[in-house]
Amino acid sequence: MERPIGVFDSGLGGLTVLAALRRRLAGERFVYFGDTARVPYGSKSAATVQRYCRQDTAFLRRFEPKLIVVACNTATALGLEVVAEEAGTPVVGVIEPGARRAVAASGGKPIGIIATESTIASRSYYRAIRALEPRAEMWERACPLLVPMVEEGRTGEDPLVRAAVEEYLAPIRGRVGSLVLGCTHYPLLKSALAAYMGPEVALVDSAEEVAGEVAGVLERDGLAARDGDGGIQCYVTDNPERFRSVGERFLGQPLREVTLVEPEDFFVQEQAAGR
């Protein structure tokens, strides 16, 4: 059997990345891990997010993935190096691809970045964009309410979402050529963001760029599935029913196989093995 592509996130958000991967790489098999018992990562410290990333990666390694996608901006911002150490396979995060797209789409104008508290505090997008375009001007803003709003089922048409977007983005509107959606939940609020920012601002959702990068790495390393028939297996650390029902909105298709894993079982095993 083809080795799968491993994908992980703190919870549901990474399913927007998985959706893009599926569209681009129809023959590949995917194993998705969502750490729903400890979600969210976006308000937690670097040390804690790194510890979680190490454990999430160790879990995915059980499936002998050929590549691991860190489908979470906070985990990429704070933990990409830890994942790379632990993975033993190529690793693709969401920040580099998003930064590239933001620079290309900004038309030389300043770039706006919205994300969780921890991603903004890490300055990872700032640094990634600076490395590509040293003169880029940037406006950054943490938007802590947008994730819980999406999780509650609100869309871009919701009045509270519109009010929050207006408050968070007021200092950025009219100043930028592109806006990085630096959290995998935000694409679900695109209509509100686009309405407030106006049609001349490019909204940058990393998912498509990530899928392109994964396709490139698989080709380069001769790892692309030859005649696989795809498929998704999901593992979560809490509440598979909630993951299934809320997750369908993120993935854009029904989620069938969602399995609960007891986190301490495998964390303790990892610890006992001296990792």
Contact residues: its own copies, CB under 8 A? 36-39, 43-45, 47-48, 51, 144-145, 148-149, 151-152, 159-160, 163-164, 167, 237-239, 242, 264, 267-268, 271
- Considering the complex, what minimum distance in angstroms separates the CB of residue 23 from its own copies? 29
Smallest gap from residue 162 Cβ to its own copies (A)? 10
Amino acid identity, position 39: V
Whichever of 116 and 124 has its CB closer to its own copies, that residue is 116
- In the bound state with its own copies, the residue whose beta carbon lies nearer, of 46 and 224, is 46
Q: How far is the CB of 148 from its own copies (least distance, A)?
A: 5
By the 8 A CB rule, do 78 and 65 touch?
no
Tell me whether residue 177 or residue 240 sits nearer to its own copies (CB atom).
240
Q: Which is nearer to its own copies, 71 or 164 (CB)?
A: 164
Q: Which residues are tagged catalytic?
A: 72, 183
Q: What angle do CA 225, 7, 242 make, to 5 degrees?
A: 125
Residue 180 φ/ψ, nearest 5 degrees:
-80, 120
* Spatial separation of the C-alpha atoms in residues 32 and 40, rounded to whole Å: 17
Q: Give the helix/strand (H/E) hosting 162.
A: helix 159-169
188, 247 in Cβ contact below 8 A?
Answer: no
Q: Are 62 and 87 in contact (CB under 8 A)?
A: no
140 vs 208, which CB is nearer to its own copies?
A: 140
Counting Cβ atoms within 10 Å, is residue 26 exposed (0-12), middle (13-18) or buried (19+)? exposed
Contacts of 137 (CB under 8 A, 6+ apart): 110, 111
Tell me how far, at minimum, the Cβ of 114 lies from its own copies, in Å.
Answer: 14
